[in-house]
Chains A and B, each alone.
Chain A
Amino acid sequence: MLHRVAIWVMVSFLCSAIIRFVLMLDLNKRVYNHTPGPCRVVNGITDGAAGLEFVGEASVVFISTGLANAYGNESSDTGISIIQLQKEMAKHEATSIKIEGVNFGKSSFGALYFFDGRHVSLLESRLSTPSALAIDRRRKLIFVGSLLNENIRVYALEKDYSITFRTQISLLSSPAGMHIEDETGDIWVALHPVLHQVFLVTMYPGDEKVRSSSQVLRVRMQEDGVSWVITEPYANDGATISASNAVIYDKDHLLVGSMFGRLLHCDVLNPSIT
């Protein structure tokens, strides 16, 4: 009798694990296409725009490209490109930058580290699949996204560079890249809304017929610092831009970078409601 109860407990645990896994894959989920205004593909980027870095002082965006090379697609060109944001852009084109020297990087799973120029120290451990990371220098906040938990953890950055947990933002979608709008403190998130699609994209990085949905959310923290409002400025089923991985927003310019394919530029017509 006791071992029969044990069998039933194991069966129910197994069933709940299977159900949780199926829900995680987002098999029952999709996005519906919409844009915040006119959009166009940026010329000069064909092998991905998985990372975007905005320099506000010069209104330029640096673009890392060629991530598919790391996923087994050796024909994907790697490098860094640059695009200048202007008020009236006659051309939407990114030009590549020549790189001299070798770059080296290492990533770790499940933790947040701080490097002060000499030593590496552990800031936070037991994080589940940390993905996107962003800093708000003005307000001294650190944002850490979790790909599988579908949330953003918000930390206060103290004077000694330790961090204090503040709040957790549930997104119901998997964050991949984050950008903080310096002026407003808004959090712009590039996400993978349908997780099994992005798994397939990483397995076939060179196949243009394998697509994944793209999504951009904007999180606006309220005055209390622990509540927020989320809007969805951009969503696409993958036909225009596949597997969004990075996002930049500045003065009604929205840039959405994909893992292995295009870079998209959109005008934001109504930023107050987007």
Chain B
Amino acid sequence: MIPRGKDVKGQIFLYDFNQKGTWNVEPLRINGKFDQDNFHPHGISHVVTSAGTIRLFVINHSNAFHHSVMVFDWNRKTRQLDLVRIVKDEKFIRPNDLVAVTEDAFILTNDGSAQTVLTNVLEILSLIPSGSVVYHDGKDYLSLFKIVDVPLMTIADNLYMDKYGAVWTGAHPIMKELFGHLSNCEDLNKYAPSQVLRIKFSEDFKTWEITEPFMDDGRLISASSIAVPFKNQLLIGSVCRQLVHCDITPETS
């Protein structure tokens, strides 16, 4: 992905699903010592600590393509983020997304190992499986074992699990249009299709049903990456452009 334009600023926003009749996001102020010019947030996850605090883990990429995980606590009264610490590790090769496991631990994905634009293109074309999954708590190591592979025949991006155990993903159905769009995010004449899939598993995870609650050719939302449902509402985020709010019903989700 080519660096963004000069006027694009890395930020964390808050969206309240309970607002009525409005569709506004609130940019959150960040308290603490960090470099705003090198703040480019990517994957994000949360956990509610034993003290009741909402803690956010955010993957950050600097201008020099160095990577870290920033830990914030969200202050409910001031509605601001307080920086707790910045985690760096040699295993953060090219982190994409992460999930919080405890208030101190998370699992993180590296989506590849190439560090330049040219080697990144070669890596994607070669289909070499050079990504990895890293667990970090500063102490122990955990292991994963595979249960099932779900062939989607689309490019699934970020995942969200709802309270019924269904997995929601924002996907990119056409790769060449995605590459054309991401090569110049500021060019509004270029856009890529967006797709939201919902995967409902059986009890033993051996079978599943895939439904498609949302699909767009890119003119409403370009290159969707994540979808979050909440009480007949669906919030769809994109890689570098719009945020879309939809009403959904159980019959059409």
Pairwise interchain contact B252-A28, C-beta atoms closer than 8 A: no
Bound-state CA distance A269–B210 (Å) is 21
**A40-87: which residues lie under 8 A (CB-CB) from chain B?**
none
Hey, which bits of chain A sit against chain B, CB under 8 A?
28-39, 232, 235, 237, 239, 269
B179-203 interface code vs A (CB 8 A; 1 in, 0 out): 0000000000000000101000000
Report which of A33, A39, A269 forms a contact with B211, defined as CB distance below 8 A: A33
Q: List 13 A-B contacts (CB under 8 A).
A: A29-B153, A30-B153, A32-B210, A33-B209, A33-B212, A34-B211, A34-B212, A37-B249, A37-B251, A37-B252, A232-B215, A235-B212, A269-B252
- Majority DSSP secondary structure for residues of B touching A: strand
Does chain A have a CB within 8 A of B218? no
Is B43 part of the contact surface with A, judged by Cβ < 8 Å?
Answer: no
Per-position 1/0 for B138-159, Cβ under 8 A of A = 0000000000000001000000
Give residues in B with beta carbon < 8 Å to A. 153, 195, 197, 209-213, 215, 249, 251-252
Query: Top 4 nearest A-B pairs by Cβ distance?
Result: A32-B212, A33-B211, A34-B212, A38-B251
Across-interface contacts of B153 in A (CB, < 8 A)? 28-30
Q: A28-B153, A29-B153 are in contact. Are A36 and B212 (CB under 8 A)?
A: no
Determine if A32 and B252 form an interchain contact, defined as CB atoms under 8 angstroms apart.
no
Interchain CB contact under 8 A, A269 and B215: no
Q: How far is the CB of A264 from chain B (nearest CB, A)?
A: 13
Report whether A269 and B212 are in contact in the complex, using a CB–CB cutoff of 8 Å.
no
Instruction: Check if B213 sits within 8 Å of A34, measured CB to CB.
Output: yes
- Can you name the residue of chain A whose Cβ is closest to the Cβ of B171? A32
Closest CB of chain A to B251's CB: distance in Å? 5
Closest beta carbon of chain B to A170's beta carbon, Å? 14
Residues of B contacting A37 in the complex (Cβ-Cβ under 8 angstroms): 249, 251-252
Question: Which of chain B's residues have a CB closer than 8 A to the CB of A29?
Answer: 153
CA distance A239 to B249 in the complex (A): 21
Q: How far is the CB of A239 from chain B (nearest CB, A)?
A: 8
